A and B are shown apart, each in its own frame.
Chain A
Amino acid sequence: DAEITQSPRHKITETGRQVTLACHQTWNHNNMFWYRQDLGHGLRLIHYSYGVQDTNKGEVSDGYSVSRSNTEDLPLTLESAASSQTSVYFCASSPDRNTIYFGEGSWLTVV
């Protein structure tokens, strides 16, 4: 079955380290998204991509970057991890930009 997978599912890292969260989907969707979820803030969009080589900033993009070199993958990089980036991160994909399918989430702790 087609799916969307994230790795790692759980990670603890130190302040200042670079961290990359992987996202891989097998639906061949052009549209992919990264969200973070924190208590009291719901789902906040970090970055999104509407196709290969296309990337766009969301509402909370500072300190994060993405790249889209193929249809299947949208890795999220934290350039220099900060404690404020401790969160749950959800990757998602969509065939049409509005029907969103989420991955299982990556729990990141920055100490």
Chain B
Amino acid sequence: GENVEQHPSTLSVQEGDSAVIKCTYSDSASNYFPWYKQELGKRPQLIIDIRSNVGEKKDQRIAVTLNKTAKHFSLHITETQPEDSAVYFCAAYNGNYQLIWGAGTKLIIKP
């Protein structure tokens, strides 16, 4: 079945720098890749997503890229701010109508 690996598990960056989180998936039938942000004590919330017919998508300071050949997708956050501190989850929607989740990345923004 589908497997999603997410790296790194923890990422610490200086405020204002960029952060990149990477996920790889195994099922070539996967066609939808969302990213969720979860602040401490809160629910996960969708921040950006990408479908398999698109290579890149941007929304202000965040972007997601998809490489279908290599089966990996990445979240890019530019000009990081303190409010970006959170746990980020990637997921892949496989052919069996289920979202398969990565293990999460804790992003720490250092002042």
Contact, CB under 8 Å: B93 / A43: no
Interface 1/0s, chain A 92-111, versus B by CB < 8 A? 00000111111111000000
Contact, CB under 8 Å: B43 / A98: no
Give the interface SS of chain B, mostly helix, strand, loop or mixed.
strand
Identity of the chain B residue whose Cβ is nearest the Cβ of A6 in the assembled complex: B43
Identity of the chain B residue whose Cβ is nearest the Cβ of A31 in the assembled complex: B97
A residues with a Cβ closer than 8 A to B are 40-43, 45, 48, 50, 90, 97-105
Residues of B within 8 A of A43 (CB): 44, 89, 101
Contact, CB under 8 Å: A98 / B101: no
B residues with a Cβ closer than 8 A to A are 32, 34, 36, 42-46, 49, 89, 93, 97-99, 101-104
Contact, CB under 8 Å: B93 / A90: no
Residues of A within 8 A of B46 (CB): 99-101
Query: Contacts A42-B102, A42-B104, A43-B89; is A99 near B49 (CB within 8 Å)?
Result: yes
Query: Contacts A42-B104, A98-B93, A98-B99; is A90 near B43 (CB within 8 Å)?
Result: yes
List 16 extra interface pairs beyond A40-B103, A42-B103, A97-B99, CB under 8 A. A42-B89, A42-B104, A43-B44, A90-B43, A90-B44, A97-B93, A97-B98, A98-B32, A98-B99, A99-B49, A100-B36, A100-B44, A100-B99, A102-B45, A103-B43, A105-B43
